[in-house]
Amino acid sequence: MGKDRFSKNTTLSAAGLKLVTFAIFLALSAAVSGQTPRKLSVSKLSEPPKQLKKLLKAGRVTFEVGPRSGSADPRIIGETRYEVSYRYKSQAKWSLSQDAKGARVLVINVVFNRIQWNPKHVIWLRDEPELDVFWSNSVLLHEFDHLRISTDPRIARRFAELLTQRRVIRHTLQAGEFAGRELTDRLVEKEAHAVFEEVTDLIAIRYRELDRETLHGRQPVPRSSELYDLLRSDAVPESQGGSRDASGNP
């Protein structure tokens, strides 16, 4: 059986939203209805400490303050939401072969490069801190610990490492499927998205671990915790326009 081959370069992008309630709870707080949080401009605040300023830039952080109508839990007084998009270039070659049962198998050899990992965050505070103590507010500082987790440069590197390891994709052709550019693109992106889900699931696990170990910010991170060194590290990624080349390319 002759082999069909196809080679291409492509630049693809995708986005996913991971919304988890990594929130601070306040017992006995009253529900407030009919209100919508308002955006709080960082430019109206005092200069943040140097380390927090780096985190704000790396995480592309925006703020919302004020009660929310229809909140799932009125005890929630702080929350961090994050969204991550990724981009890459790929070179793919495909060929057709047969498996032991005679089924046609599409074999794709792919190289991923120019991988980018682009996080952004929204920090919501139910009660707006006074301006003179904004950056030392305990609720906000807990949300910054969440931010430290999802802006850890090892996250971007991990995504790039896992993606570049996906060098060969094998797909048994189903009835009505045809080998070609369209199917190759779809399978390459499916592989990339599977890696994306794996990495963002890890972030969500770490977020929940932080809330569990600190009782949603009511106590310090235990020194015995795996998160302790990460959260006390000064290794904050420098952001270039909100995106980060995770593959190590200039």
Residue 241 is classified by DSSP as T
Q: How remote is the C-alpha of 68 from its chain's centroid?
A: 24
pLDDT score, position 50: 93
pLDDT score, position 125: 93
Token representation of residue 71: 């909140």
Mean pLDDT of the chain: 81
pLDDT score, position 102: 85
d(CA 142, CA 214): 9
State yes or no: pLDDT of 163 exceeds 90: yes
pLDDT tens for 106-140 read 999 999 999 999 999 999 999 999 999 999 999 99
pLDDT band at 226 (very low <50, low <70, confident <90, very high): confident
In 99-222, DSSP assigns E strands to: 104-125, 168-172
pLDDT score, position 45: 92
pLDDT score, position 230: 80
| Contact call for residues 14 and 196 (beta carbons, < 8 A) | yes
pLDDT band at 188 (very low <50, low <70, confident <90, very high): very high
pLDDT score, position 7: 38
State yes or no: pLDDT of 104 exceeds 70: yes
| Residue type present at position 236 | V
Q: Taking Cα atoms as reference points, which of 87, 72, 86, 65 lies closest to residue 19?
A: 72
Q: Taking Cα atoms as reference points, which of 166, 225, 167 lies closest to residue 199?
A: 166
| Contact call for residues 233 and 240 (beta carbons, < 8 A) | no
pLDDT tens for 60-101 read 999 999 988 765 566 788 899 988 888 999 999 999 998 888
